[in-house]
Amino acid sequence: MTRPTYPLADVLRVLAELIAWVALPWALGRISILLAVLALAVLIGLPAVLATPGDNGRTAVPVPIPGWGTVLLVLMELSAAVLGAWLLWPAWAAVPVTLLALACVVTEQPRWRRLSGR
C-alpha cells in the first residue's frame, strides 16, 4: 500500500525545515559555535535517523519510532524555525516564518492523523 501524498504540506514543511536549519544555528552561533553545531546536528540528525515505518514511503528506517514521535520531530523543526527567525531577523521577516509554521500545522493534520492511527 502506498502512503497518501500531501504535496502542499510537504513543500511547506521542507521550506520550514530549511529555515530552521539556517536560522536557529545562526542565532545560536552568536552565543556559541558549539551550540550552533549541536542545534544543526539535532535538527538534521534526529529526523534522518528516527522515522516512522511506512511514512514517506519507507518501510525500512534506521531507528523506528511511533507516529507520534514523527509528529514531535516536525513540531521541533517548526519551533526551531520560528525561534530562530525571531532571535535573528526583524519582525517583518519573522512574522512570515511564524505564519509558515502555522500553515504547516494546518496542512500536516491529515498526515498527523494517519501517523497517530486516527
User: Which of these, 23, 39, 16, 20, lies nearest to 90 by C-alpha position?
Assistant: 23
Cα-based distances in Å from 55 to 4, 13, 59: 9, 14, 8
Give the cell for residue 53. Answer: 515505518
What value does the mean pLDDT take over residues 40-63?
A: 90
Give the cell for residue 26. Answer: 545562526
Torsion angles phi and psi, residue 64, rounded to 5: -70, 140
Where in the chain are the domains? 7-115
pLDDT confidence tier of residue 3, bands split at 50, 70 and 90:
low
Q: What is the pLDDT of residue 105?
A: 98
Span of 8-12, 38-42, 53-57, 90-94 with lowest mean pLDDT: 53-57
pLDDT confidence tier of residue 13, bands split at 50, 70 and 90:
very high
What value does the mean pLDDT take over residues 26-40?
A: 97
Q: What is the pLDDT of residue 81?
A: 98
What pTM, to 2 d.p., does this model score? 0.93
Q: What is the pLDDT of residue 117?
A: 81
